[in-house]
Structure 1
Amino acid sequence: MRLSNRNKASVYNFINTLLFMILAGGITGFFLEESRFNILGQESYLLIIIPVVLLGIFYLSGRQIFEYDSDGEALNFKNRNIIPFLDRPLSDEFPKYKLLKYEIVQLLFFKRLYITISSKNSGSTMLKYEISYLTKKEVNDLKFSLNKVVKANNEKKLLNNK
C-alpha cells in the first residue's frame, strides 16, 4: 500500500506564503500604528503576535509531507518539510519482519507515529514521524496497513516458536 500527501505540497506552500505575507502586513501595520496613527494603543501588538502564533502552530505541527510504502518486502517511510533548509528530511526503509509495534499519539494539533523495530545492537529502536497533516482517512489507511504487517509478524513468531 502506498500513502502520500505529496500532492498537497502546493497548498502547504500557499499557506506558508500567506502566513508570511500576513506577518509582513502586521509588522508594517504595527510600525504605522506606532509612528503615525496611534488608534489601537496597546492592542497594536496583536498585529505581530497573532501572525507569529499562527506561523508557530504551522511549523510546530511538524513536517508537512509524509510518504509510506509497504509494497514488496520492505516498509518505506519518508517525512519532510516543504521548506528544505528548515530541518533534515527523514527517510527510513527496513524489512517488514523487523516491525514490532506502532503507536499513533494525538495532542491538539499534533499527530505523531511511533514505530518500534527490532535491532541487532540494542534489541529495539523507536522511529518517530510527524503525521499532523494527514487526513483522518489517510491515518486510518495507515493504521490498517501497519496492523496487517504487525499481525503477520506475530503469526510468524507463533509458528516459529512451535
Structure 2
Amino acid sequence: MRLSNKKKVPLYNFFNTLLLLLLSLGIIGFIFNEMKFDILGNASYVLIIFPLLLLCMLHLLGRQIFEYDSDGEALNFKNRNFIPFLHKNLSDEFPKYKLIKYEVVSILFVKRLYVTVSSKNSGTTMLKYEISYLTKKEVNDLKFSLNKVVKANQEKNIKNK
C-alpha cells in the first residue's frame, strides 16, 4: 500500500505565503499606527501577534509531507517539510519482518507515529514520524496496513517457536 500527501504541497505553500503576507502587512500596519495614526492603540500588537502565531503553529505541527510504502518486502517511511531547510528530512527503509509494533499518538492537533523495529545492536529501535497533516482516512489506512504487517510477523514468530 502506498500513502502520500505530496499533492498537498501547493496548498501548504499557499497558506505559508498567505501568512507571511499577512505578517508583512501587519508589521507595516503596526509601524504606520505607531508612527502616524495611532487609531488602534495597544490593539495594534494584534496585527503582528496573530499572523506570527498562525505561522509558528503551521511549522510547529511538524513535517508536512509524509510518504509510506509497504509494497514488496520492505517498509519505506519518508517525512519531510515543504520548506527544505526547516527540519531534517527523515527517510527509513527496513524489511517488514523487523516491525515489532507501532503506536499513533494524538494530542490536540499534533499526531505522531511511533514505530518499534527490531535491531541487531540494541534490540529495538523506536522511529518517530509526524503525521499531523494526514487526514483521518489516511491515518486509518496507515493503521490498517501496519496492523497487517504486525499480525503477519506475530504469526511467523508463533510458527517458528
Offset at residue 108 of structure 1 (A): 1.0
Within-5 A mapping of 1:2-151: 2-151=2-151
Q: How many residue pairs align between the two structures?
A: 161
Give CA-to-partner distance per residue, 1:100-146, whole Å, 9 cap, x none. Answer: 00000011110000000000111000000000000000000000000
Give the whole-Å Cα distance in 1 for the aligned partners of 2:22 and 2:103.
36
Give the whole-Å Cα distance in 1 for the aligned partners of 2:108 and 2:31.
34
- Aligned letter for 1:49? I
Aligned to 2:148, what secondary structure does the other structure show?
Answer: helix
Give the whole-Å Cα distance in 2 for the aligned partners of 1:36 and 1:147.
62
Give the whole-Å Cα distance in 2 for the aligned partners of 1:157 and 1:96.
13
Offset at residue 85 of structure 1 (A): 1.0
In the alignment, structure 1 segments of 5+ residues that lack a partner are: none
Aligned to 2:112, what secondary structure does the other structure show?
Answer: strand
Q: So what's the TM-score if we normalise by structure 1?
A: 0.98
Which stretches of structure 1, 4 residues or longer, exceed 2 Å deviation after superposition?
none
Give the whole-Å Cα distance in 1 for the aligned partners of 2:153 and 2:90.
25
Identity of aligned residues (%): 71
User: RMSD in angstroms over aligned alpha carbons?
Assistant: 0.5
In the alignment, structure 2 segments of 5+ residues that lack a partner are: none
